[in-house]
Chains A and B, each alone.
Chain A
Amino acid sequence: MIKAILIFNNHGKPRLSKFYEHYSEDTEQQIIRETFHLVSKRDENVCNFLEGGMLIGGSENKLIYRHYATLYFVFCVDSSESELGILDLIQVFVETLDKCFENVCELDLIFHVDKVHNILAEMVMGGMVLETNMNEIITHVDAQNKMEKSEAGIAGAPARAVSAVKNMNLPEMPRNINIGDISIKVPNLPSFK
């Protein structure tokens, strides 16, 4: 079972947290900090698995993580999950985000808190893997978008805001998430480097 899914940036700022077991709000924040501490001190190119922190159950749970440019994606799972399976699931999650947001970057996770949660909900439910097929997930997400659009014409507003930010030339702008071997061409949106 997946106990928690955490996304935070290189500075430990949380960008998404989803807990499938109940902890108090304080404990949740502590878990995020502890996990960041454990994960961030590891070198690149070491293995993607490590024993969980004390707060989330110690050595009975594993942290499985991937590091993409500015973001860490961490899944905390118990012994009933396959490590490599979860690693692939993280990849599917990121690829899906990339498809939905067209060159996903850290900002997208902030602007579209709701969408990211919805995409995650299509993949993981109550701590169990619900769907792993990317096409299926995207079909569901598209269907939701269509329903939103049909109900209100303003659904595009946040997207416009993103493109505005992406066009501004800011010094500390977070970079695009680099998904290694995936390169999805985006003809219309200029991405920033």
Chain B
Amino acid sequence: MVWFFFIFIFIFTGKSKEAEIKRINKELANIRSKFKGDKALDGYSKKKYVCKLLFIFLLGHDIDFGHMEAVNLLSSNKYTEKQIGYLFISVLVNSNSDLIRLINNGLKNDLASRNPTYMNLALHCVANVGSREMAEAFAADIPRVLVAGDTMDSVKQSAALCLLRLNRTSPDLVPMGEWTARVVHLLNDQHLGVVTAATSLITTLAQKSPDDFKTAVSLAIARLSRIVTSASIDLQDYTYYFVAAPWLSVKLLRLLQCYPPPEDGALRGRLTECLETILNKAQEPPKSKKVQHSNAKNAVLFEAISLIIHHDSEPTLLVRACNQLGQFLQHRETNLRYLALESMCTLASSEFSHEAVKTHIETVINALKTERDVSVRQRAVDLLYAMCDRSNAKQIVAEMLSYLENADYSIREEIVLKVAILAEKYAVDYTWYVDTILNLIRLAGDYVSEEVWYRVIQIVINRDDVQGYAAKTVFEALQAPACHENLVKVGGYILGEFGNLIAGDSRSSPLVQFQLLHSKFHLCSVPTRALLLSSYIKFINLFPEVKATIQEVLRSDSQLRNADVELQQRAVEYLRLSCIASTDILATVLEEMPPFPERESSILAKLKRKKGPGVLPNIDDVRQEREKERSLNGSLDDGSDAASKTPFLAPCAPPPPSVLSAGTMTSLYPTADLLGPTAPPPSGGASLLVDVFSDSLSAVAHAPLDMSPASGPMSDDNFSRFICKNNGVLFENQLLQIGLKSEYRQNLGRIYVFFGNKTSTQFLHFTSTLNIHTKPAEATVDAGAQVQQIINIECISDFTDAPALDIHFRYGGTLQSFVVKLPVMLNKFFQPTEMVSQDFFQRWKQLGAPQQEVQKIFKAQHAMDTEVTKAKIIGFGTALLDGVDPNPTNFVGAGVIHTKNTQMYRLTLRTSRDTVSQRLSDLLSEQF
């Protein structure tokens, strides 16, 4: 009864936290003294105390003793004690505890005991702890237990899952191979529990090495077909509410999703038959009214539908699946509606069924409006996003916007991002796009992230057909008595750039525009005010007539003596600039922003980040590809400017610069850390005023860190020139000259690449990356100037392909890109080796294997001159050995190539590796 009262007090007095802690500490002290006491505890007491400890642990209190007792209990001969010992270990011990070593021995004994109950306990313990040490100790034993003929079924089940667990935690320690075939055959086992466990194991293993488990496909299909077509009574115990073995069916269908559709016709037919039967069963009247029956049935059905979507090859099945999901969309069971929306999302990305999914648009919109459960509504938003295309974009965006007004706060930001992306992606008419985004800001300004409003500005700047409309719209929007700060930012920026387009109308004269903006000024935060100050200085350039008014504002104490250093600095500088600069200079300095380079939408990147990896990619990758083609084709005819020819979502390497952030101005000042060539790039590669000051400083652009695909024409005309020399001009066209200087020493090399700007304009966003080894570099290349990039090279093993240098920059308004092969060849790593005739021939003979020698006889392309030949051989990197060969018309060179692996190669076209000989011969023969 002590036990009972203890617990009783626990539950009902546990209302005050302090009382609970006090009670627990007392109990812990009591248990500790019992464990430490001289009197040996009987089995029941031990169990009682361990249970109490477990309960105390569950309530969130630390248990720092009792572990040794648990280890002793675990090694006991009595089942009761052993069981409680295992329980304690599996709940309380985490994987890196030292205790693991102490129990390994006990586990080994139990595993070898041949008593199924003990074996199961041990296997459970290994699976639950699953540490690396356990894997080391048992990885070899468990497969044996699993495939042994005399193992009990329940032990086999446990062993399969235990192996799966170890494979997950330390895959390198679980040997594959000899037992794989026998594991696959467990799919034929009599006991369905074993088959279920084995299917789980095989599914995980097959994801890692599909080839090893290919044979499982046919067995799984056979098994599935037996389950699906059998009368439910055949599977007695595994029939759950009149559904034959639902869990096993689900697992088998999951396993089949690891593989493409089977190629063998008969097998494929059998699978299709299974899937059809499952779809047919959904139409039959339910055999029971219980929810468990429909749950089990639908679990199988949904898995079958995922398999159909995964295979994406049988149009009839896909359409049936889509119709079935359509039915579920209106089912009264919320769970089914949720799952149907989720499955449809994946279905929408399939080429065959995208159209079919679109027919359900009304239902989905209705779900968005009426569904009570926020998680279901969220799925509806996902599905609308996935099913959106050019034809229904306007409707979907409108629905999402109207939903946004009363959407759950937790999902608002996501909806905002999705609306922004869809509006941009499917905008035919950019006035619609501008309206949509302004609406977004109006409805959910707080949830509109920086990326969204940066993006609208980028688009307005890049498309001159929409600029006037945008200026007019923001002007009107700003007239609302209360508008969101994000709107002020967009408005300030756009009017600063394009205010002149609407200045003709007396209702939006320059002065009115300025006063409208300035009326918002005092309500805004510092970054917005900074942006507005920049707009004001732009106004001075656009409208000389308001110059005096603006100067007045800038001169006021609240600006010139503002406590915020950024605002003060801007005010002082802008005022100064407006006073001293001539109109021409002002016009140059405050010129309209150049078009932004096209790149992946920053909003899309943000959405991906937000959703985490692997949530959206399927839909987006497939659809984006399609969209890209479409928008490429679609925009050819409107052809208004160069920018519109490239799709707005085209993925491009450099990350987007922010449009105009508060930090932009700072980059105009030569503070050391911003301007050092290796300094982290500030965001303002495209900042407002950079052009003016660019003689004294260079704006540092981002260098992409990924391997950009070779996009431009590959140029290697001058490549061969570098085989025998190290310095020279590698590439030259009318814009750019690339010079090269290189040094090699053993396996190390250093290349200085010089980029010379031959034009009179600056190259912006200059990036140069190497396809093997990336190194951030570069900046803006000023007119007539030269910048240098240093590349360090280490030769790790022999190679044939030269690395390619990928160069992108912006010259004028257009993006230029080149790929230049860097002349790094194997022979560069030659170390000239002097040796006498005798040594030479000795080593020559050592390299006598036929593949090691390459001989080439070719016609001379140049005049045969002894001196030139000698120079070329030395230039090739070998030492020229005079007097080794008695015939003076034969030349002999020797060298050693150092690689990181310090393997040595001998030249004279006998080398220790056939590929090396071949390559060297190729390289050298081009030279004569």
Which A residues have a C-beta under 8 Å from some C-beta of B? 1, 13-18, 20, 22, 25, 28-29, 32, 42-43, 45-51, 58-60, 80, 82-85, 87-89, 91-92, 107, 110-111, 113-114, 117-118, 121, 125-133, 135-136, 140, 143-144, 147-148, 151-152, 154-155, 157-158, 161, 164-165, 172, 180-181
What residue in chain B is nearest A14 (Cβ atoms)?
Answer: B58
Q: How far is the CB of B302 from chain A (nearest CB, A)?
A: 7
Interface residues of B in 1-30 (CB under 8 A from A): 1, 3-4, 7-8, 10-12, 14
Question: Could you list 14 examples of A-B contacts with CB < 8 Å?
Answer: A50-B375, A60-B614, A60-B615, A82-B250, A84-B298, A91-B295, A92-B240, A114-B47, A125-B158, A125-B161, A129-B196, A131-B193, A151-B78, A161-B1
Q: How far is the CB of B867 from chain A (nearest CB, A)?
A: 70
Tell whether B927 is near chain A: CB-to-CB under 8 Å. no
Whether the Cβ atoms of B375 and A140 lie closer than 8 Å is no
Q: How far is the CB of B724 from chain A (nearest CB, A)?
A: 57
What residue in chain A is nearest B45 (Cβ atoms)?
Answer: A154
Bound: A131/B197 CA distance, A? 8
Whether the Cβ atoms of A133 and B237 lie closer than 8 Å is yes
Q: How far is the CB of B5 from chain A (nearest CB, A)?
A: 9
Whether the Cβ atoms of A129 and B334 lie closer than 8 Å is no
Q: How far is the CB of A143 from chain B (nearest CB, A)?
A: 7
Whether the Cβ atoms of A128 and B83 lie closer than 8 Å is no
Interface mask (B128-161 → A, CB under 8 Å = 1, otherwise 0): 1010000000000000000000000010011001
Interface mask (B156-172 → A, CB under 8 Å = 1, otherwise 0): 01100110110010000
Tell whether B299 is near chain A: CB-to-CB under 8 Å. yes
Given A126-B127, A126-B165, A148-B79, CB of A47 within 8 Å of CB of B58: no
Bound: A111/B52 CA distance, A? 9
Interface window among B87-95, B265-273, B781-789? B87-95
Bound: A83/B337 CA distance, A? 13
Tell whether B581 is near chain A: CB-to-CB under 8 Å. no
Whether the Cβ atoms of A47 and B375 lie closer than 8 Å is yes
Whether the Cβ atoms of B334 and A126 lie closer than 8 Å is no
Interface residues of B in 257-314 (CB under 8 A from A): 290-292, 295-296, 298-299, 302-303
Contact of B254 among A58, A80, A89, A152 (CB under 8 A): A80
Whether the Cβ atoms of B337 and A47 lie closer than 8 Å is yes
Bound: A83/B10 CA distance, A? 35
Given A85-B247, A125-B161, CB of A16 within 8 Å of CB of B58: yes
Bound: A136/B334 CA distance, A? 32
Whether the Cβ atoms of A25 and B62 lie closer than 8 Å is yes
Bound: A126/B203 CA distance, A? 16
Nearest 8 pairs of A and B residues by beta carbon: A126-B127, A84-B299, A126-B165, A46-B373, A161-B4, A47-B334, A29-B60, A47-B338
Whether the Cβ atoms of B80 and A148 lie closer than 8 Å is yes
Q: Which residues of A contact B130 (CB under 8 A)?
A: 126
Q: How far is the CB of B138 from chain A (nearest CB, A)?
A: 13
Q: Which residues of B contact A88 (CB under 8 A)?
A: 240, 246-247, 292, 295-296, 299
Q: How far is the CB of A119 from chain B (nearest CB, A)?
A: 12
Interface residues of B in 47-73 (CB under 8 A from A): 47, 50-51, 54-55, 57-60, 62
Given A20-B128, A151-B43, CB of A164 within 8 Å of CB of B4: yes
Contact of B250 among A85, A91, A165 (CB under 8 A): A85
Give the size category of B's interface with A.
35 or more
Contact of A126 among B161, B250, B337 (CB under 8 A): B161
Q: Which residues of B contact A158 (CB under 8 A)?
A: 3
What residue in chain B is nearest A84 (Cβ atoms)?
Answer: B299
Contact of B375 among A49, A147, A164 (CB under 8 A): A49
Q: Which residues of A contact B246 (CB under 8 A)?
A: 85, 88
Q: Which residues of A contact B339 (CB under 8 A)?
A: 49, 83-84
Q: Which residues of B contact A29 (CB under 8 A)?
A: 60
Q: How far is the CB of A75 from chain B (nearest CB, A)?
A: 14
Interface residues of B in 185-207 (CB under 8 A from A): 192-193, 196-197, 200, 203
Bound: A50/B193 CA distance, A? 29
The B interface is mostly helix, strand or loop, or mixed, namely helix
Whether the Cβ atoms of B302 and A49 lie closer than 8 Å is no
Contact of B7 among A25, A47, A110, A172 (CB under 8 A): A110
Whether the Cβ atoms of B158 and A136 lie closer than 8 Å is no
Q: Which residues of B contact A172 (CB under 8 A)?
A: 12
Q: Which residues of A contact B200 (CB under 8 A)?
A: 128-129
What residue in chain A is nearest B126 (Cβ atoms)?
Answer: A126
Bound: A164/B250 CA distance, A? 44
Q: Which residues of B contact A16 (CB under 8 A)?
A: 58
Bound: A14/B11 CA distance, A? 11
Given A125-B161, A144-B117, CB of A118 within 8 Å of CB of B83: yes
Bound: A138/B615 CA distance, A? 39
Given A22-B95, A118-B83, A125-B127, CB of A113 within 8 Å of CB of B55: yes
Instruction: Give the most central of A13, A114, A165: most B CB within 10 Å.
Output: A114
Bound: A74/B237 CA distance, A? 26
Whether the Cβ atoms of B161 and A17 lie closer than 8 Å is no
Q: Add 8 more A-B contacts to A59-B612, A126-B128 (CB < 8 A).
A: A17-B58, A47-B337, A49-B375, A84-B335, A117-B54, A130-B158, A132-B193, A133-B237
Bound: A117/B164 CA distance, A? 21
Whether the Cβ atoms of B292 and A157 lie closer than 8 Å is no
Contact of A111 among B7, B78, B614 (CB under 8 A): B7
What residue in chain A is nearest B289 (Cβ atoms)?
Answer: A181
Tell whether B214 is near chain A: CB-to-CB under 8 Å. no
Q: Which residues of A contact B612 (CB under 8 A)?
A: 58-60
Q: How far is the CB of A35 from chain B (nearest CB, A)?
A: 14
What residue in chain B is nearest A164 (Cβ atoms)?
Answer: B4
Bound: A125/B158 CA distance, A? 7
Given A60-B612, A110-B11, A110-B55, CB of A151 within 8 Å of CB of B375: no
Interface mask (B78-104 → A, CB under 8 Å = 1, otherwise 0): 111001100100110011000000000
Tell whether B124 is near chain A: CB-to-CB under 8 Å. yes
Bound: A18/B47 CA distance, A? 19
Whether the Cβ atoms of B83 and A144 lie closer than 8 Å is yes
Tell whether B858 is near chain A: CB-to-CB under 8 Å. no
Given A82-B302, A87-B295, A121-B124, CB of A136 within 8 Å of CB of B237: yes
Bound: A164/B452 CA distance, A? 65
Bound: A85/B79 CA distance, A? 33
Bound: A18/B128 CA distance, A? 10
Instruction: Give the most central of B78, B157, B192, B375: most A CB within 10 Å.
Output: B375
Tell whether B448 is near chain A: CB-to-CB under 8 Å. no
Q: How far is the CB of A172 from chain B (nearest CB, A)?
A: 6
Tell whether B376 is near chain A: CB-to-CB under 8 Å. yes
Given A84-B299, A88-B295, A151-B80, CB of A47 within 8 Å of CB of B335: yes
